[in-house]
Structure 1
Amino acid sequence: MTTDLEAVERIAIRELLSAVAGDLGASMRPEWERAAWGVPRSVYVPDRIYLGDELEACDRADDPKAWLRAVYANDSVVSQVNDGQDPGDGERWASSSASAPSIVFRMLHMADVGEGHRVLEIGTGTGWNAGLLSYVAGPENVTTIEVDPTLAARAKDRLWKEGLRAEVVVGDGSMGHADSAPYDRLVGTCSVRSISRSWLEQVRPGGVILTPWDSPWFCYGLLRMTVDDTGRAEGRFSPHSAFMLMRNQRTALRIFRDVVREDHLPDESTTALSPWDVAGDDVDAQFALGLQLRDVWRTWHEDPDVDGVKTRLWVATTDATSWAAVDWDGTSDDRFTVWQHGPRRLWDEVQAAYAWWTWHSRPGPERFGLTVTATGETRWLDTPEHRVPVTG
């Protein structure tokens, strides 16, 4: 007999597929729609998830309807906090999640995975994405790698119970998994700041690398690259996604703990460039600055308890040797106070990067690309010959 929750789940899957198709702007491919039904998300998302800005726990046993609504919403679901450690009464931060279904299926379409393709997935997480890949490519063709042993074990248990016996490996995703190479497709489910040479070596000529992108300035963009017969990979960005960063590429920096010191004597100047122009709501600007300012990050400070300062934008290098602060007094819209310290004039670099972007007609992510060889990376605009200037 069908239970109420089973009926609710069927309705939720239909509504989710409709929402995904709306986001894609087209109907889902039949093989992926079949996979969505054959690999239910509810099987893979853990019984405890974390919701809202405060990451409040929601347990399946305590509130099954709320849990099911969250699982089948077209949104990401935080499945682990604090790398699996109990935060107690301390701060909770998301360390693993099930990505929003719309971006999951967008990436599966972009990767163009088909039956018989050998696929390496970087970042197993809950195992749902590996299940979808296994359903279409065949589980014997799918290898998925996860740095967290607990997450890997749980995902393997779910996959194998469902008869999708993909190879689940515990390890550093940036190194790939050479034992099962070569691959036709490599799909990342965590953001990266650079492309591993191991990935290039393990994807066959003509194969595709698809991964979310991140810079210390701004986490945004999907990168789709094709590997050629010389071991070079080249491709373009697209304006989608925001994924958690690969664990071995994290930078857990804080301004007052790691960067600014009481004995620092910064230089004072003014600027007409609004901090909101470079770190506000314009994702195109932020993406372009992130490509140029390779090792620069930023954070906002509201009401910093400084006379005459309403809002401050902090900018710093990831090695914590240089920083800048841009102050808004709460009234002026065309003049801001700048403080800079260290061997690099970071606000000068930000202004130069923004000027370059505006000079080139404010391009969005889809006009940028990346070429990776055994010796390095080149970021470019429109064509590989038109290099993006990079600092750091």
Structure 2
Amino acid sequence: MRAESDTYDSVIDEQPGDAAVARLALVERLQADGVLTDPRLREALSCLDRGVLLPRAYVRRSEQGTDPVVWKLLDGTHPKDRAEWQELVYSGESVLVQRDGEPLEGQVRGAVSGGRMTAMSTFTPYTVEVLQMMRIAAGHNYLDLGTGPGVSLALAAALTGPRRAGGVERDGHMAAFARNNLDRLGVGATMVAGDALDGHVPRAPYDRIHSGIGVPCLPSAWVDQLAPGGRLLTTLVTRAPSWPGHCLVTRTATGRIEAVLEGGPRGHRPLHGYTWLTAQHHLAQVADIPGRPRTTTFTPPADEAYGFWLSAAYLVPGVVRHFQADTLTVVAPEEDSWAVAHPGDGTVRVHGPRDVWAELEDVHILWTRARSPDLFHVDIPADGGPQHIASGTGTAALEWVLPPLAGCAPATRLTPASRTEEGES
């Protein structure tokens, strides 16, 4: 139900000075925080008119837990919306742009209830981190997968030069919307509608491939389309959104594929149809019934111990962390089980048929025995077989198998004795 249905078709004073100041302020924040270090990317960010790519934006107007959610669509050309819209667009936060796969050219400003957001821009500091990690040079042939509104593609095009950067977007409405806006910017980027999992054969091979969607394993098409000396970067996702992994794939000058996986504080959302777990419906129960107490000698590593938490995402499958809790709280929603730590007193409370705390204890023992790795090697068989993760070699190495693209099966921990059998299954 819309509470406001007026449109505003006339273009008001664009106030270019205000937009330029907002762009510069965003760039200066990113540089002051130590996120932005590449001078070429700084120049691209300073020149990019984000308002062309994000002309409208949804903001939440209802309290958390309200059902249905009430949104308001801000129109950057409307005098009543412009100040809030501009602050949001240049805040660096993720900007919500599409609801329920709607056509974007027909959006009407105002309030609307229900539905879910199906497209958004990426958190700007993460966009910067990704583009810097890609090491994009002028003349590189660049492919952006799951492009969305096109912010990262526009920045990449500024780094590669005209007609060297292209994007693939599954949603036809979004692809057309982004294509029109990129053309208005004149950055020389191309955009096609298609399945990002297939890459884009007509312009292959690519010096750089970036995926803005998380995948459970590496699609073979992406690897096949990577040029010698090329770099491919994507998020590897589990069913738990709590602990993402960044996978960097390189092809050597001789054609050999090398890949590593590393944890981090943030990552891209999973591909369409891949369902994340949520503990939202269990939080009230966790607060009311924290569980039976038991002693523990396990002190979980800090949040910055990304190698441990990444390992836990795979080897303690189906578990979600409740980051807003006062103490470490993890929930296995499908088993109606959880664990609540009591720091400092050597106790933990566990509830339900599954002791997720014991599983975390076991993974910590294995992770410590493997010398607390933060970086993992990814084996990508040329025949498209199961992709293996390993922290190293030897009997103490921490290992598992990535789930296939077609399903969400939990990862399987491997031992040297079981590797061959698992690989043949």
TM-score between the two structures when normalised by the length of structure 2: 0.72
2:84 to 53, 66, 69: 66
Q: Which residue of 1 is the match for residue 331 of structure 2? A: 314
CA displacement at 1:178 relative to structure 2 = 1.5
Q: Name the count of aligned residue pairs.
A: 359
What amino acid sits opposite 1:47 in the alignment?
R
In structure 1, the residue matched to 2:406 is: none
Q: How does 1:335-374 map to 2 (within 5 A)?
A: 335-340=348-353, 349-360=359-370, 362-363=372-373, 365=374, 367-374=375-382
Percent of aligned pairs with the same amino acid = 18
The alignment partner of 2:41 has SS state of helix
1:80 aligns with 2:105: no
Aligned counterpart, 2:285: none
1:226 aligned residue: 250
| Structure 2 equivalent of residue 45 of structure 1 | 54
- For structure 1, the residue ranges without an aligned partner over 5 or more in a row are 258-267, 304-309
Question: Hey, what does 2:419 align to over in structure 1?
Answer: none
| 8 Å contact kept, 1:212–1:241 | no
**Which residue is 2:181 aligned to?**
158
For residue 272 of structure 2, what is the amino acid of its counterpart? R
Return the alpha-carbon distance in structure 2 between the equivalents of residues 360 and 73 of structure 1.
41
TM-score (norm 1): 0.77
SS of residue matched to 2:320: strand
1:1-392 to 2 correspondences below 5 Å: 5-24=15-34, 27-29=37-39, 31-51=40-60, 56-59=71-74, 60=76, 61=78, 62-84=80-102, 89-90=113-114, 92-217=115-240, 218-228=242-252, 229-230=254-255, 232-237=257-262, 239-248=264-273, 250-251=274-275, 272=295, 277=300, 284=306, 285-293=308-316, 295-298=317-320, 313-315=330-332, 323=335, 325-326=337-338, 334-340=347-353, 349-360=359-370, 362-363=372-373, 365=374, 367-374=375-382, 375-381=385-391, 383=392, 387-390=397-400, 391-392=411-412
Deviations 1:262-317 (A, max 9, x none): xxxxxx99754599949x95663432211434x534365999xxxxxx9985326x
Alpha-carbon contact 1:95-1:244 (below 8 Å) kept? no
- Post-superposition Cα deviations, 1:179-230, rounded to whole Å, max 9, x if no partner, equal 2111101011222221111111010122101123322233424322212445
1:13–1:37 contact (8 Å) kept in structure 2:
yes
| CA distance in 1: counterparts of 2:112 and 2:297, whole angstroms | 40
Q: Alignment partner of 1:200: what SS? A: helix
Residues 231 and 335 of structure 1, relative CA distance in 2, 3 Å threshold: same
Q: In structure 1, the residue corresponding to 2:113 is in which secondary structure?
A: coil
Which stretch of the first structure deviates more once superposed, 34-43 or 20-29? 20-29
The alignment's C-alpha RMSD in Å is 3.8
Letter in 1 for 2:126: I
Three-state SS of the structure 2 residue aligned to 1:143 is strand
Deviation at 1:126, TM superposition (A): 0.7
